[in-house]
Amino acid sequence: MIHSLLTTENPINSTESLRQWIEQRNREVQVDVQLIPFSEMTGWYVDQDGSLKHNSGRFFTIQGIHVETDYGHTRVWDQPIINQPEIGYLGILTKVINGTLYFLMQAKIEPGNVNCVQISPTLQATKSNYTQVHKGKKPAYLDYFVNVKPDHVLLDQLQSEQGARFLRKRNRNIIILVDEEVEVLPDFRWMTLGQIKSFMHYDNMVNMDTRTVLSGIEYIDYITPLTNFDNLSDFGRDMLKSARTQEGIHSMQQILSWLSGLKSRYDLFVSNKPIDKLEGWHRSETEIANNDGKYFRVIGVKVSISNREVTSWCQPLVQPLQQGLCAFIVRKIGGIYHFLVQAKLECGNYDVMELAPTVQCLTGNVYAAEKKPPFVDYVLNAPKEQVLYDVLQSEEGGRFFREQNRNMIVEAGKDLPQQLPEHYTWMTLHQINHFLKFNNYLNIQARSILSAIKYNVK
């Protein structure tokens, strides 16, 4: 795993040839996404409450909710939300080839993608998809994951998705190792972990599902006395040091007590409410939208993609009306990198709060003084030399229409305030990774940024 992490060139597929392959698939695969009225979405209907539902009763529903909490600036609100109770597969197939671990990645197009083709997991499928409710073909490589033996599993976790858009949504993040020969289909290529991470430093090239799966890998589990660290960058060495440091300025017990205290102090009540009665929202023939033009809207689309299990279909998508900002501030404390983590409440969370990046907000909140999140000015005004990572990353194109968030890692200077708000704390990478072993602790925005940390020199 460490060798794969530090390898950015390989004899099977060079990094440049993989980049050209992605560009070629963008040119070759025919994609057509048209906005249509809800009444023309074949296979979907609007129920008596205004919710959007599939005729099969499967896939997902766009429904309304009413939220009440005693946390944050806004204590009561209504909104539409995606209700998708099924647990899907986000799976990556790996194989050791000539002593290096390779990951079988897919050039996959989702209807909401900013740039059509993105690097995706080997398998990316909802339960409705892989049980073929759509009457289409079975997803490629599905049998490897359904029939996997426990000793071939490298990672297996249930992880949450966006708590502000999904109602208690989770997917199975899984990486498996195979020994036998694997047929490489036209839309798939073997890549090293280092190559995938290098692509994460380009805007919108690696999709959200790949990022969440790879975020769960604990590299320290693969370090042995024979591990060769010649290709490690200084930053990579510091990150591995943080990943090996069990106790930072706070012990795990202190962090657990801090998080448990916040979860028990604040309430979150979510109840169903008809979309047609949501306060501050309206539904027309073509959209469900906020009256003030904020946040997001729900639209209907007709999709044609030539290389999918089903080549043409209709569905709702959530279209953002503001770009997001997600950023971690890091600082060396006692010679060890610590991440400034916040406990964030979102209406779709399973357990009230999840651990989130230092800053996670819509750009509209950046300029609203009464809603401006802590540290947002610090991140946006950081000198260039303190910005360690700054890339636009897409959200999941199967549910969101051309949504991208600015992902950043910023190193703190001496001017960072010492006093933290109650819902913030410092954690080492080891402590963060410990929470990743369990369900619904670290949110998808945090996982997305962590997955992009590069350890190699190039």
Q: Does residue 269 register a pLDDT over 80?
A: yes
User: What mean pLDDT do residues 247-252 have?
Assistant: 94
User: What mean pLDDT do residues 181-200 have?
Assistant: 96
Would you state the pLDDT for residue 306?
Answer: 80
Residue range 1-33, pLDDT digits in tens: 999 999 998 889 999 999 999 999 888 888 899
pLDDT band (50, 70, 90) for residue 134: low
How do strand 76-83 and strand 61-69 relate by DSSP bridges? Answer: antiparallel
Would you state the pLDDT for residue 347?
Answer: 97
Would you state the pLDDT for residue 299?
Answer: 98
Q: CB within 8 A of 132, min separation 6: which ones?
A: 138
Residue range 109-119, pLDDT digits in tens: 999 998 889 99
Residue range 368-390, pLDDT digits in tens: 656 789 999 999 999 999 999 99
Would you state the pLDDT for residue 129?
Answer: 78
Would you state the pLDDT for residue 30?
Answer: 84
Q: Does residue 133 register a pLDDT over 90?
A: no
Instruction: Bin 10: left if φ > 0, else alpha if -120 < ψ < 50, else beta.
Output: beta
Structure tokens at 15: 């990094």
> Which percentage of the chain shows pLDDT scores above 70?
98
Q: Does residue 130 register a pLDDT over 80?
A: no
Which structural domains are found in the chain, ordered by start?
2-32+86-225 (3.90.79.40), 33-84+269-320 (no CATH), 242-267+323-451 (3.90.79.40)
Question: Which residue carries 């290389």 as its tokens?
Answer: 307
Between 27 and 189, the more confident residue is 189
Q: Does residue 352 register a pLDDT over 70?
A: yes
Structure tokens at 16: 């440049």
Residue range 40-89, pLDDT digits in tens: 999 999 999 999 999 999 999 999 999 999 999 899 999 999 999 999 99
Please give the mean pLDDT across all residues of the chain.
Answer: 94
Would you state the pLDDT for residue 135?
Answer: 65
Would you state the pLDDT for residue 300?
Answer: 98
pLDDT band (50, 70, 90) for residue 286: very high
Residue range 139-172, pLDDT digits in tens: 999 999 999 999 999 999 999 999 999 999 999 9
Would you state the pLDDT for residue 444?
Answer: 97
Q: Does residue 244 register a pLDDT over 90?
A: yes
The CB density around residue 141, as the number of other CB atoms within 10 Å, is 24
Would you state the pLDDT for residue 370?
Answer: 65
Would you state the pLDDT for residue 29?
Answer: 82
Cα dihedral 169, 343, 197, 26, rounded to 10, equals: 40
User: What mean pLDDT do residues 250-275 have?
Assistant: 97
Would you state the pLDDT for residue 458?
Answer: 64
Would you state the pLDDT for residue 371?
Answer: 73
Contact 154, 92 (CB under 8 A): no
